[in-house]
Structure 1
Amino acid sequence: MILAGVDIGNSTTEVCVASVDQNGQLEFLSSAAKVTTGTKGTVANVHGIKAALAEAMSKVGMGIHQLDLIRLNEAAPVIGDTAMETITETIITESSMIGHNPSTPAGAGQAVGQLLFIEHIHQAQPGIPYIVAASSEHPYEEVAALLNQYESSLQVEGLILQADEAVLVENRIHKKIPIIDEVRKITAVPEGKLAAIEVALSGQSIRMLSNPYGIATLLQLNAEETRLVTPIAKSLIGKRSAVVIKTPNGNVQENVLPAGEIYIQGDKNQTINVDEGAEKILEALQNAGQVWDISGQPNTNVGNMFSKIKTSMSEVSGENNQQIRVTDILAVDTLAPVAISGALAGETCMEKAVGIAAMVKTQQLPMQQIAEQLREELHTEVKVAGVEAIMASLGAMTTPGTELPLAILDMGGGSTDAAVLNQDGSVNITHQAGAGELVTMLIQTELGLNARSTAELIKRYPLAKVESLFHLRLENGEMQFFDESIDPRLFGHVILLTEDRFIRIDEEIPMEKIVQVRKEAKRKVFVTNAIRALGKVAVDHQIKNIGNVVLVGGSAEDFEIPEMLMEELANYRIVCGRGNIRGSEGPRNAVATGLVMSYVGEQK
C-alpha cells in the first residue's frame, strides 16, 4: 500500500510518502513541502495539503489518486497574534524637547541660547546668546542672509529649521553653528526660553543631551530638575541631533501604563499584571502548575488580546468563546518605538513593552473537518493519527547517531514542541506557544520596520554592507570582493544575503543594530522556550537528566538558532544538534516521517 504522512505547520505543510509491503516492510519514497494555506488546523489547510501531496507523488511518477491512506498530525492552532503591550510612556508637556534623526543636520557640537524666531531677529540684543528658529516660510537664502547680516552684532549659537535645508543654510553662512532641520511643529517652540542644542558628527550620536548630567551642565539645572529630565535624556539616546528647552512650568513624566492583568487558571490560580514584565509572567505561569485556561482583565489591552484570540478560534471550530481555552503563553520583554507625547518633530522613544504569544487548546474537531474534506475531494482514506511531538520523536530517531532515550525540540513558526522518548517506549511531551512568528514580530517592532516581510527576511538571512561597487563588508567583519560591479542601487546600503540575490533594506538602520536586535529576539524566544520545554519533559523536571537533544522543524534550519541552543545546552552537558531525518532530509519532515512510521507500529 502507498501512504502519506502530512504535517500541517504554522508556516509549512510537509509530506512524506512511503510504501508498506505485506510483511510490514517500510520503504520511504519521497517528500515535499508547501506553504501552509490558511490558519493551522483549519479547513483552509486542504489546498496546501493537496499541493504538497501532488508534488511528492509526482516525484515517484504517481498521482494523488494512487494513495491508499493519508495520516494527518493533530495540529494545535497557535495564535501568533502576539500583542505588544507598552508598559512605560514618556510624556513631555510645554514643548520641553525636540530630538530626532533627520538625515541631514548640519554642523556639529553643542550650543546654549535663548530661543528667537528669525522674524524677530531685529529685536535681539547684543551680548545674549541666541538659538534662532525659522519656519519653512523663510527660504534658506533668506535665513542665511539674515544670519550673515547680524553675524557681527548678535551672538547666534545655533539654528532650528522647519524645512529640510540645514546643509543649504550651512553652505551659505560665514560662522559655522549646529543646525537642526525637519522640525514640523516649529511654531510650538516657546520663544524666549533657554535651550540647549547638539548635533553629532556623521556616524556618531549625541553625548551631552542623551545624558541627564549633560543636560544639567548645559542648562544649569539643580538636582531635582536633573531627575525630572532623565526621561528626556533616555528618549534621546542614539539620536543624531537634539534640542532640550528649559521650561519652568514644563512637566516631564515617565508613566507606567495599565496594560492589564493576566488570569491563569490552573492547579494554583495566578494573577499577574503585564506591567511586571515577561519574567514575572512566566514565573506565575510555572507556579500555576497544570494550566486549564488563561484570560485577560476585561477592557484592557491584554484582555482584548485574549478575547480576540478566543473569538477567532471559535469561528474556526464552531464552538463558543467559553469553550475555547488558552493553555500556554510565552511572554517576552522588548522595546517598542512609541510616539512621545508633547514632542515637536514626530519623535519616537523606545519604551518598555511585553510581547505575548498564546496557544489554544488542541481540538479534534477542526482536524476531523480537514480529514473529511480531504476524504471527500480525494476519495482516499484519511486519518488524524497522532500528536505532533510524539510523531516528531519517531521521525527524529531516523537521524544517524541517535539512541534512546531521545529528546527532541520541534521549533516551528508558531509553537515549540518538546518530547522525550524513553527506552521503555513511554513519551513525555509538551506543546508551547512562541517560535518563529514571535521572533519576526519582535524584529519588526524593535527596528520600527514598516513591512513584516522585511522582518521575516532579516530573521532568515545574514547581512552585509555594500561599501563600494566591488566589495561588501559581511556582518562578521569579513570583506568580500567581486570581479563584476555590484548593482549601484545597493551602494551604501545594508543588504540581505539570500541564496540567489542581494535584497536591500530601505530603512536607514546601522547593520550592527539589526544584527543585535535579530540575535536578541532569537535568544528571547528560542532559548527561553527550549529551556522551558525541556524542563517540563525531563525526568524530575531536571534538564541535566536529558542526555541528547535533536533539533527539528523549520527553525532548526536557521543559520544561527541551533548554535545558540548548542551553547546554552552545553551548560547542562547535553549533546545537541540539528536532526537529519532519514539521513537525507535535514531537520525537516520529522513529523511527516513519524506519521508514516507510527502506522507500521500500529499494524504490528
Structure 2
Amino acid sequence: MAIIAGVDIGNSTTEVCLAAMESAKVTKFYTSSIVKTTGIKGTLANIPGIVIALEEALKKAGMTMADLSEIRLNEATPVIGDLAMETITETIITESTMIGHNPSTPGGVGLGVGQTVSFTQLESLTSGEKVICVIPENIDFEDAARVLNQALARGIDLQGVIVRQDDAVLIANRLQKIIPVVDEVTMIEKVPIGMLAAVEVAEPGQTIRTLSNPYGIATVFELSAGDTKMVVPIARALIGNRSAVVVRTPQGDVKARTIPAGFITIFGSKGKADIDVESGANKIMETVERVQPVLDVQGEAGTHVSGMLERVRQVMSELTEQHLGDMKIQDILAVDTFVPQKVQGGLAGEFALENAVALAAMVKTSRLPMEQIANQLRSNLGVKVVIAGVEANMAIRGALTTPGTDKPLAILDMGGGSTDAAIITRDERVLSIHLAGAGDMVTMLINSELGLNDFDLAEDIKKYPLAKVESLYHIRLEDGTVRFYEQHLPPQVFSRVVILKDGEMVPIPSSHPLDKIRHVRREAKKRVFVTNAIRSLSRVAPTGNIRHIEFVVLVGGSAMDFEVGDMVTDALAEYSIVCGRGNIRGSEGSRNAVATGLVLSYLDREA
C-alpha cells in the first residue's frame, strides 16, 4: 500500500490531500489540511508552508513523514497581482492651497468669502472688512468666541472661521451671527494670511454645493476659463464633503503636473498590438483577446505602466534565480478602478479620486523553480517528490469527485492570484487555461478605492458581510434586516460600520457609509471574478463558443466566498450554463480540488 500526498501550492494557501493507494486504485482518503502559502507561489520560499501542511495532514491521520511513499506537486505558475497596482492613467494635480477634509462636526452653516486674517489681527481691523479668521491650536474655544463676538460688535464682517482644534460647534454655538466654521485643520500654520478665501458648511445630512463645483469656485474667485480648468481637481476632491475651504494663492503658485499614462504592447500568437492605457480596461482586454494566447507584454519606456511590468519581471527573476530576459508575462487582467491621489497644497490630507487601471500580471517561468522545490523537499524529507501536472487539469480530476457530476464537465478554479478553467469531454480530452487575476486583485481594488491603506482590513471586507451598529442593542445588516442583542455591544462599535467576522464585530476606521463599502466590494468582485469566468470558459470551450458548455463546477478558495459563487452563477445563467459550487470528495466543499486531483493522477502512473 502506498501513502500519497497531493500538494497544491496556491497564491494564498497550500493544501494537502492524503490518501492510500493499492492495486491501482484509491483505497482510502485519509484527511486534508490547509495553511497559508509562504512566499510567492512557485518559489523556494514555499517549502516551509508545504512542510507544515504535510505535517498537519499526517498528524490528523496518525502518521509521520516516514510513512509517506510519494509527494505530488502541482506546476505552480506565479501570479504577481499585489505588485502591479498603480495609478497609470493621466493624472493632473493642481498645486494650490485648499482644505476639504470633511470633519465630522463642522459648525454653523453657509458660504463665506473674505481675506484670511490671523486671530491676533482681529483687534486692529476696521469695520466693513470681509474676513475669514484663522485660529491656531493654543486658543481656547471660549476665548475664541469672545474675541470673534467683539469683532462682530465693532462692525467687522466676519464671513467664516478656520480652526485647528475640534472646536467648530463649540465656537459656532457662542457666536452672535451664524457663519461657517471648519475645524480639525492639522496644518493650520500653512494657511496663507492676506489671501482671498471661501469657507462653506452645509446643513446636517447635506453636502457642499458651491466649492465642489468648478463654476462655483470660478464665481467666488472671479476666475477666467483657463483658471477654471485648473481648479477641477480641487472641486472633485471636495465632492461629497459637508465642509470645505479654498484659498486663492498668489499668481504662479498654481501648477499642473501631468504623469503620462503610456501604452502597452501585447505580443500574442496572433500578432502584436499597442494599446494606450488611457483607453481603459475594456479596450485593453479586447486587445488581449484579439491576439491571445499572450506571449509577452511590455510597457512604453518612461511611463508608470512600464515601471510596473518591469518590476514584476525583476521580482520574479530574483525569486526564481532566472535571467531577467527569460521572464515573460503570459497573461494580464486589466480592471478600471479609482485611486485616491493626494492633491498637492492641501492642508488636511485632501485626496481626489483619479481614474486608474489595475493590472494583474502572470509571469511565465521555466519548470526550473518547481524542480528546485521538488529537489529540496526530497533532500529535506527523504520522500520521493514528483511534479505531477498543470493545476487546471488536476482541478478537473478533483471536481469529478463532487457527487452528481460526470463528463463532459467544465471547472472554474478561482484562487488568490489566478483563475483557471478546464473542460473534459466525454472522450477524456482536457482543455485548460491559466489566467491572471482572482481574490488578491479584488482585495487590492477594495483597499485602493476605499483608501484604507490596510491590506488585511480590505481582505476582511472582501470575505465577510457588513452591518451598521445603530444602538448599543441592535445592528442593521447590509441586507436591511435588524438583529437585536440582550447584552449591550462594545461602546467602540457604536454608530460604526462593522465587519461581521467569526462572531465578532470589527469596526472599519473610515467615514464611508455601509452602502458605499458594500458597492465597492461587490463591484470589485464582479470586475474580476465574473470577467475572468467568462474569459476563461470562452477560451476552453471546444467550439470557442461559451454557450456550448453545459455544466460548470466552481472550485478553489474564492468559490467559497459568501457572494462570488452566486455572482458567477447569475452571470453564466445568461449563457444557459448550469453552475454551482463543488463539493470535493463529498466532504471538502469547493476546496482541495487540485490536491485531490494530484492524488488521483497517481493512478495514471500505475496504469
**If the TM-score is normalised by the length of the shorter chain, which range does it land in?**
over 0.9
Q: How does 1:122-271 map to 2 (within 5 A)?
A: 122-136=123-137, 138-152=139-153, 153-191=155-193, 193-215=195-217, 228-245=230-247, 249=251, 256-267=258-269, 268-271=271-274
Instruction: Name the residue aligned to 1:108.
Output: 109
Distance 1:317 1:218 in 2: 59
Distance 2:252 2:301 in 1: 35
Q: How does 1:412-561 map to 2 (within 5 A)?
A: 412-561=415-564
**Post-superposition offset of 1:443:** 1.1
Q: 2:368 aligns with which of 365, 368, 371?
A: 365
1:413 maps to amino acid: G
Instruction: Name the residue aligned to 1:118.
Output: 119
**Post-superposition offset of 1:587:** 0.4
1:492 maps to amino acid: S
Q: 1:342 aligns with which of 341, 345, 368?
A: 345
Distance 2:546 2:371 in 1: 36
Instruction: Name the residue aligned to 1:284.
Output: 287
Q: Say what the alpha-carbon RMSD is for the aligned residues.
A: 2.4
Distance 1:188 1:88 in 2: 29
Count how many residue pairs are aligned between Structure 1 and Structure 2.
603
1:481 maps to amino acid: F
Distance 2:266 2:223 in 1: 47
TM-score, with length taken from structure 2: 0.93
With over 3 angstroms needed to count, the CA separation of the structure-2 counterparts of 1:40 and 1:247, relative to structure 1, is closer
Is the 2:95–2:343 contact (alpha carbons within 8 Å) kept by the matching residues of 1?
no
Instruction: Name the residue aligned to 2:325.
Output: 322
**Post-superposition offset of 1:589:** 0.5
Is the 1:462–1:496 contact (alpha carbons within 8 Å) kept by the matching residues of 2?
yes
Distance 2:138 2:518 in 1: 42
2:167 maps to amino acid: E
Distance 1:341 1:503 in 2: 33
Q: How does 1:21-100 map to 2 (within 5 A)?
A: 21-22=22-23, 24-80=25-81, 81-95=83-97, 97-100=98-101
1:106 maps to amino acid: G
553-562 or 60-69, which deviates more: 60-69
86-95 or 586-595, which deviates more: 86-95
**Post-superposition offset of 1:214:** 4.1
356-365 or 414-423, which deviates more: 356-365
2:562 maps to amino acid: F
Is the 2:96–2:344 contact (alpha carbons within 8 Å) kept by the matching residues of 1?
no
**Post-superposition offset of 1:114:** 4.0
Is the 1:26–1:600 contact (alpha carbons within 8 Å) kept by the matching residues of 2?
no
Identity %: 51
Instruction: Name the residue aligned to 1:569.
Output: 572
User: What per-residue deviation string (whole Å, max 9, x for no partner) do you get for residues 163-186 of structure 1?
Assistant: 333233224323232101233444
Instruction: Name the residue aligned to 1:8.
Output: 9
1:66 maps to amino acid: D
* Paired residue secondary structure (1:309): helix
With over 3 angstroms needed to count, the CA separation of the structure-2 counterparts of 1:93 and 1:42, relative to structure 1, is closer
User: What per-residue deviation string (whole Å, max 9, x for no partner) do you get for residues 3-32 of structure 1?
Assistant: 111111111111111122225354322211
**Post-superposition offset of 1:297:** 2.9
User: What per-residue deviation string (whole Å, max 9, x for no partner) do you get for residues 118-150 of structure 1?
Assistant: 333345454454332333355434431221112
245-254 or 515-524, which deviates more: 245-254
2:203 maps to amino acid: L
**Post-superposition offset of 1:389:** 0.4
1:338 maps to amino acid: Q
**Post-superposition offset of 1:409:** 0.8
1:238 maps to amino acid: G
Give the gaps of 5 or more residues in structure 2: none
Distance 1:344 1:55 in 2: 53
Distance 1:190 1:499 in 2: 50
241-250 or 323-332, which deviates more: 241-250
Is the 1:70–1:383 contact (alpha carbons within 8 Å) kept by the matching residues of 2?
yes
**Post-superposition offset of 1:316:** 2.7
**Post-superposition offset of 1:396:** 0.8
* Paired residue secondary structure (2:337): strand
588-597 or 53-62, which deviates more: 53-62
* Paired residue secondary structure (2:287): helix
1:167 maps to amino acid: V
With over 3 angstroms needed to count, the CA separation of the structure-2 counterparts of 1:275 and 1:569, relative to structure 1, is same
Is the 2:94–2:230 contact (alpha carbons within 8 Å) kept by the matching residues of 1?
no
1:578 maps to amino acid: R
Distance 1:182 1:440 in 2: 31
Is the 1:100–1:240 contact (alpha carbons within 8 Å) kept by the matching residues of 2?
no
**1:306 and 2:309 correspond:** yes
Is the 1:219–1:246 contact (alpha carbons within 8 Å) kept by the matching residues of 2?
yes
* Paired residue secondary structure (2:178): coil
**Post-superposition offset of 1:66:** 0.9
**Post-superposition offset of 1:206:** 2.1
With over 3 angstroms needed to count, the CA separation of the structure-2 counterparts of 1:99 and 1:541, relative to structure 1, is same
With over 3 angstroms needed to count, the CA separation of the structure-2 counterparts of 1:344 and 1:429, relative to structure 1, is same
Is the 2:560–2:590 contact (alpha carbons within 8 Å) kept by the matching residues of 1?
yes
1:2 maps to amino acid: I
Distance 1:503 1:77 in 2: 32
**Post-superposition offset of 1:94:** 4.7
